[in-house]
Amino acid sequence: DTEVTQTPKHLVMGMTNKKSLKCEQHMGHRAMYWYKQKAKKPPELMFVYSYEKLSINESVPSRFSPECPNSSLLNLHLHALQPEDSALYLCASSQVPGHFAIAPLHFGNGTRLTVT
């Protein structure tokens, strides 16, 4: 069982579609993260929210738009994606922003996104 829940598990979308990925945790964690992982590549950090505020944006294209409505929820809004954006999108949370020595990341199972 994972304590970070991501929906949907799979998503197929066209380049003109608008869709959203959702992530939820109820562990009281105050930092939430979006990672992107392509096959045989390391997870790459996209965004970090610390105490519901965006603290890191790793130069991600504007067709990806994160949102943190509250401390338990994290969304990733997708619009006008390209086929090369197809990847596994992983959400993670940690008890305290940074400070991985005391608060390692907890990952969800990911959303497998295919852009056609």
Q: Which residues bind another protein (CB under 8 A)?
A: 2, 4, 6, 31, 40-45, 48, 50, 55-56, 90, 92, 97-101, 104-110
Measured at the CA of 49, the angle between CA 66 and CA 16, to 5 degrees, comes to: 10
Supply 26's token pair: 């109820």
Residue whose CB is less far from another protein, 28 or 42: 42
Residue whose CB is less far from another protein, 7 or 18: 7
- The sign of the torsion formed by the CA atoms of 94, 63, 39, 110 equals positive
Residue 40 CB, shortest distance to another protein, in Å, is 6
Dihedral, 60, 51, 76, 109 alpha carbons, nearest 10: 110
Residue whose CB is less far from another protein, 8 or 14: 8
Q: Which amino acid is at 20?
A: S
Residue 80 CB, shortest distance to another protein, in Å, is 27
